[in-house]
Homo-oligomer: A and B are copies of this chain.
Amino acid sequence: MKTKAVLDESQIPTHWYNIVADFPVPPPPPLHPGTHEPLTPDDLIAIFPMGLIAQEASSERWIEIPEPVREIYKLWRPSPLYRARRLEAALGTPARIYYKYEGVSPVGSHKLNSAVPQAYFNLLDGRKRLTTETGAGQWGAALALACQFFGLKCDVWQVQGSFDSKPYRRMQMETYGATVVGSPSELTESGRALRERFPGTAGSLGMAISEAIEAAAGDPEASYSLGSVLNHVTLHQSVIGQELVLQLKEFGEEMPDALYACAGGGSNLAGIAFPILRENLEGRANTRVVACEPKAAPSLTEGEYKYDFGDTAHLTPLLKMYSLGPDFVPAAVHAGGLRYHGMSPLVSHAYDQGLIEAISIKQREAFAAGVTFSRAEGIIPASESNHAIAGALREARKAIETGESPVIVIGVSGSGQLDLPAYADFLAGTMADS
């Protein structure tokens, strides 16, 4: 019985897919924070290279993947699609469950799909150094490696709480040659101001973004690099969903009935779901796309859809998105990179237009699902991915009652090898139910 579809590396997509070309209603543009006018490319040139600015504003449906990027994608892509036969048996469900596993990337998550082109377009633009933020560390590790591949310097501001509790991630970034500091730090004006305003804070992604932007804006050879939220990031991640469409055919399946993906800033969800949404919009599929977010950072399910800042110090453009506000500091739940106050404008627009659904999951349910998955399939999923698995398990268990056999796809965005302390917390029964 077929367990996984791997595809040959020659089947890595040649183009990224841009959903902006297919939305029935165009998404609201980003605004300049001073003038509240739509942003122009010039407004971004201090912190982004031209190649990425062009992608950010593009409404072309297909954007070619440069050959040097595709060559590096070959180190781990195509990522495998698995039929979760052992999980189905463990649950006793008639559902047919598949999962697309991005943990095969050398850094252990989907983040490398965007880190590599971001480093590449910065190199083309003559930049020598990238600054970025990271929460759990998946994005920081990805950018550290991508910078190493292209000979760029990489400086990472890591949310202080993660910096202290996840030393392995820092070691991983340093092994790839990056420098890592806890945020808020003494190295930037915004960091110093945040330390004064919130003494002893464990930090937040919004704070770390402020610091990384400030550092890039003050260095003409540097760019800022963001691991989620923005249009060009969701664009790069579209390789995931494009491969999924091919791989389902290898199993003899049509489009899935439901697709579950975790959502923090939105890059993983967009990457696996937008190519499927295109199938929906063109009438070739009728897939329910379900964004799974942590109950402790519920931007889609409990946030407000409005123009808001992406960072705490208000250095970013204004983005129309579901947001909990840039001062939001999430509870100390094990949700990794999902602990962000906002949501990708394109994912937000899709949700606002009724093209996707959203649910929120408490961490105990997420980790119970992760342990069930680990023991059946072997792979220990990332904290983030457990939210998608938990959502899918709800539907798979419901199918036991209804007797239906839906085809369910789960986006497993990464490996949980470096999230093991969270699993230990869950298994010890000491995890808060938040």
Contact = CB atoms under 8 A, between A and B. Distances in A.
Contacts of A106: 377-380
B8 A374 contact: no
Contacts of A107: 378
A417 B171 CA distance: 10
A1 B171 contact: no
A71 B1 contact: yes
Contact of A380 (B1, B172, B177, B374): B172
A171 B424 contact: yes
B420 A417 contact: no
B71 A374 contact: no
Contacts of A171: 420-421, 423-424
A40 interface: no
Interface in A337-387: 371, 374-375, 377-380
A375 B424 contact: no
Interface string A104-116: 1111100010000
A176 B375 contact: yes
Contacts of A145: 375, 378
Contacts of A187: none
A151 to B, nearest CB: 10
Contacts of A417: 108, 168, 172, 415, 417-418
Contacts of A415: 417
Interface in A86-119: 86, 104-108, 112
Given A106-B378, A168-B168, A375-B177, A74 B420 contact: no
A189 interface: no
Interface in A280-301: none
Contacts of A104: 104
A197 interface: no
Contacts of A168: 168, 417-418, 420-421
A160 to B, nearest CB: 19
A9 interface: yes
Interface in A22-40: none
B374 A423 contact: no
Contact of A3 (B75, B377, B421): B75
A6 interface: yes
Given A3-B71, A3-B74, A8-B6, A172 B375 contact: no
B378 A427 contact: no
A175 B75 contact: no
A195 interface: no
Contacts of A112: 378
Contacts of A74: 3-4
Contacts of A76: 378
Contacts of A82: 75
A378 B75 contact: yes
A2 interface: yes
17 contacts: A3-B9, A4-B75, A6-B9, A75-B82, A75-B378, A76-B378, A104-B104, A106-B379, A106-B380, A107-B378, A145-B375, A148-B375, A174-B424, A174-B427, A175-B371, A175-B423, A175-B427
Interface of A: 1-4, 6, 8-9, 71, 74-76, 82, 86, 104-108, 112, 145, 148-149, 167-168, 171-172, 174-177, 371, 374-375, 377-380, 415, 417-418, 420-421, 423-424, 427
Q: For the complex of A and B, list the 4 residue pairs with the smallest distance between their C-beta atoms, beginning with the closest.
A: A106-B378, A3-B74, A171-B420, A171-B424
Given A4-B9, A6-B6, A171-B421, 13 more contacts: A2-B9, A3-B74, A104-B104, A106-B378, A108-B417, A148-B375, A175-B371, A175-B374, A175-B423, A176-B375, A177-B375, A415-B417, A417-B417
